[in-house]
Homo-oligomer: A and B are copies of this chain.
């Protein structure tokens, strides 16, 4: 195997694939990066067993400027190889696999020899056909991920809750995540989902990584499913993740259908006030802020308190406070995550009782996005 390539092209692919490579893996060969060169393409693969990323550098693309002398494959130590490639002196580099998997990398007057491994020992990626596939706009997918993964549990005690539950069918895609303290649900109307019927749980970590990996250049992402794997194809990049096995709890009954108090805020302004209040609550053993709504006086006030450090009180700007007076306490970090995922919008917050979950929805689109937060009992 021997090829010459423009270093920047190679570094870009290397950066993408490296996202899947962990130094903490228990399978030594997975600390390596696999290179497979055929007449048509150079394929880079990285994997941590849960996630695998493959990037294809097309041999026929002029911009890639890939010159093939001989095909073959090799596994190279990913971290050090990446550092070497990034520090090479010239704009082009030549990689030549010699005897005993010794790989010679030349660029300008620098010549590195790196000990490689037999690519035949690298685990095989699953083959996932296109028979169960659908296409989603990349930006929509990215937004859906960012709005739901925040509510995924990071506790392995209930592994199923570390995933995002996707139900696809009847022209809709519904994504739900909950760590049992809060819940995020996002619904998409999707023509591609008209005839589909999928019910899968994708690890939150995989989706977060996918969201970071998706390039803004890519318009559409093809999603393929098997019984235990999902594959996202975005341009030259293929992103594989295992699925979580088990039954996701029924979350539909958790979302309240009525409310006794509602109020609307500018989401970024509310976020800033919550962040200020949390400066004090973070200094306290119970990380809780209190929101007090007075519908007669038309005031909304937030309180944060730390017995050691001090306290904060802030009158909030709002629109349309209606219903019963309310005093409610909650974890400000859940509120921050929810508001950050909403972005630049007006948010409607609806309460039923001081100890019942409350909801946040964007005022402009109440049907497709909901965040649910369970309050904290402070008495």
Residues of A within 8 A of B (CB): 77, 80, 83-84, 87-89, 102-103, 109-115, 272-273, 275-276, 279-280, 283, 308-317
Contacts and interface: CB of A to CB of B under 8 A. Distances in A.
B115 A309 contact: yes
A39 B279 CA distance: 32
Q: List the 3 shortest-distance A-B pairs measured between CB atoms, nearest first.
A: A114-B310, A110-B314, A109-B315
Nearest to A87: B276
B275 A112 contact: no
B312 A110 contact: yes
Given A77-B309, A89-B272, A272-B89, A83 B279 contact: yes
A246 to B, nearest CB: 41
Contacts of A316: 109
A304 to B, nearest CB: 9
Nearest to A277: B110
Contacts of A313: 110-111
Contacts of A272: 87, 89
Nearest to A86: B279
A310 B310 CA distance: 57
B312 A113 contact: yes
Contacts of A275: 87
Nearest to A301: B109
Contacts of A84: 276, 279, 312
A77 B315 CA distance: 25
A291 B272 CA distance: 57
